[in-house]
Structure 1
Amino acid sequence: MIATDTIISLAKKTIETERDAIAQLSSLLTDDFASIVNCIIEAKGRVIISGIGKSAIIATKIVATMNSTGTPAIFMHAGDAIHGDLGTVQDNDLVICISNSGNTPEIKMLVPLIKRGSNKLIAMTGNTDSFLAKQADFILNTHVDKEACPNGLAPTTSTTAQLVMGDALAIVLLEIKGFSSSDFAKYHPGGSLGKRLYLRVADLVSKNQVPQVQKDEEVKKVIVEISKKMLGVTAVLDGEKVVGIVTDGDIRRMLNKHDNIKGLTAKDIMTTNPKTIPANTLAIKALEHMQKKGISQLLAMDKDSYVGVIHLHNLINEGIL
């Protein structure tokens, strides 16, 4: 068995090698970076990102980041591009080619085909003397002194540098475009992040039954209503106006206090001035309110009208908590 200290030491060495390379990356930024940002902002076409091998995998991640942060992008595999997928590139598109060496056969074949059109070519490479760099309109220099791989073979530090440079580009574009949290939510409707930004109390209340009793109804009816609607609570109304709330905890306290519940009504055991929340409130705000007050449900209101209950379980089920 390999000693724990040895394993941890090797892991730290890898992390520190990549950390040092990333720390130096900012010093490699030139005016080209600013020119690239302006080209992307002003472009009438799309951003197409291409690579081969591990660089292709990094390219797909950068594409995903750009698409989710307001810069539409498309991935084109460099190997597939020279076998038909070059049709992806249209007039006015801007092409970013990622290659650490900048001299792979596929890149050497692809670059002239891109250059014959009116497309801007951006090289993301660790070799500024490479074929790719010399053919490019702009360069993103991702040079690293060494790979974390002790044999210097497996792309490790170099691909991390590519990923970080791609993140820098995407986030600069995000900030300059003023891409907001509400914009982010449009592209992430299914994830918990998006739900925090767009899901409202009304969306969750609509999935629940609406427990309610009149203030003069007997406690037996209150118990049935709470049990039937399965939310651990019921609103107490005077006509259509909410005047109180009864929780399952109130029921337990009542049973401990009274040997005979005959004659007791909802108004006798309810809590007045119940905690409410507007139905158009973001669900995340409802969660914050529950946590602050130490409660697990709120009555949802549409102006003065009671529309239902939002329960902590709704928020958990939606992945908001």
Structure 2
Amino acid sequence: MDKQQRIISIAKQTIETESKAIANLANLVDEEFAGAANYIFESKGRVIITGIGKSANIATKIVATLNSTGTPSIFMHAADAIHGDLGTIQEFDSVICISKSGNTPEIKVLVPLIKSIGNKLIAITGNRDSFLGQQADFVLNAYVEKEACPNNLAPTASTTAQLVIGDALAMCLLDLHGFSSSDFARFHPGGSLGKKLYLRVSNLTALNEKPEVSPDTDLKKVIVEISEKMLGVTAVVENGNIVGIITDGDLRRMLTRTDNFAGLTAKDIMTKNPKRISNNAMAVEAMEMMDANGITQILAEENGKYCGVVHIHNLTKEGII
């Protein structure tokens, strides 16, 4: 086997090993898991998540996921906890401790301290019979048969399993809290994902000029309007209502059909009943309509009245695309 094929083989084997470990976790979810989720949901405090080594790295990601889905959480490093950070834990907080073996020296020191404070302890561990497993009020079983590491040493499948258990817990709490897409948007206002959930067409039309001509506007003025507003399009409007649209493409096609432009007006070259969208619709809906119809601009209206134009460049700039 050459070097390239060996690399491919090892990568596939790693993915297969970890996917099997994850699939088996579904068999380990039980009433104790449900009890832990319900206890966190009903508690008045935060979730404090602790661990050491690679488990600490997983803990920080689970904290981020819980915070972003409506469950206030804080990371506390297990080593730092026994050197002063134990004060992070408040009276009504739930504590989750993550450890594959459940028997590391730091865990053996930390767990009795947590128990002495009186907080409920939830373990995410692959060893229910460990010190941590025996001391915990709830055990979320993250057992894996073997690591992806050929020496069965480097945390690989086990840390993936911990992460998946954390995600499963977060999704259960999300459901219990009735956490909606609008809630998610409140916690992600700056990212493109959040913008897909809160940015509206009106936010985009307000950024653009508002190209507009009447059905009887002569061709020269139509061209000037499209050029000055720099959106490659103008709406044809009568009594505030959209009756047509003229794009750069319409002008080019008109030039191939006739040599005599005298007397031509907007109504002679416009596309009637163009695609349009509510000014109150979500920006992502405008993107979907453009994509479905193979267009780069779409007209917006409110209560039947013309409001402006959304251009594909607006969506790109805002990170929607």
Offset at residue 41 of structure 1 (A) = 1.0
User: Pairwise mapping of residues 1-321 of structure 1 onto structure 2 (< 5 A)?
Assistant: 2-321=2-321
Percent identity over the alignment is 66
CA RMSD of aligned residues (A): 2.0
1:178-220, Cα deviation, whole Å (9 max, x unpaired):
3222322222233333222222111111111111123333211
SS in 1 for 2:308: strand
Decide which moves more: 92-101 or 239-248: 239-248
Decide which moves more: 173-182 or 98-107: 173-182
Q: Distance in 2 between matches of 1:19 and 1:76?
A: 29
Q: Distance in 2 between matches of 1:293 and 1:158?
A: 47
Q: Distance in 1 between matches of 2:92 and 2:143?
A: 29
Offset at residue 155 of structure 1 (A) = 0.9
Number of equivalences: 321
Offset at residue 2 of structure 1 (A) = 4.3
Is the Cα–Cα contact under 8 Å of residues 200 and 279 in structure 1 kept in the other structure? yes
Q: Distance in 2 between matches of 1:31 and 1:281?
A: 43
Offset at residue 84 of structure 1 (A) = 2.3
Unaligned runs of 5+ residues in structure 2 are none
What is the identity, as a one-letter code, of the residue corresponding to 1:248?
A: D
Q: Distance in 1 between matches of 2:149 and 2:274?
A: 62
Unaligned runs of 5+ residues in structure 1 are none
Q: Distance in 1 between matches of 2:8 and 2:147?
A: 18
Q: Distance in 1 between matches of 2:274 and 2:27?
A: 59
CA pair 241-11 structure 1, distance change in 2 beyond 3 A: closer
Decide which moves more: 54-63 or 229-238: 229-238
Q: Provide TM-score, normalisation by structure 2.
A: 0.92
What is the identity, as a one-letter code, of the residue corresponding to 1:251?
A: L
Q: Distance in 2 between matches of 1:289 and 1:312?
A: 11
What is the identity, as a one-letter code, of the residue corresponding to 2:40?
A: I
Q: Distance in 2 between matches of 1:16 and 1:302?
A: 53
Is the Cα–Cα contact under 8 Å of residues 205 and 307 in structure 1 kept in the other structure? yes
What is the identity, as a one-letter code, of the residue corresponding to 1:157?
A: A
Q: Distance in 2 between matches of 1:302 and 1:151?
A: 65
Offset at residue 239 of structure 1 (A) = 4.8
Offset at residue 144 of structure 1 (A) = 2.0
1:233-292, Cα deviation, whole Å (9 max, x unpaired):
011223534332211112112223333423332233222323221100112222222233
Q: Provide TM-score, normalisation by structure 1.
A: 0.92
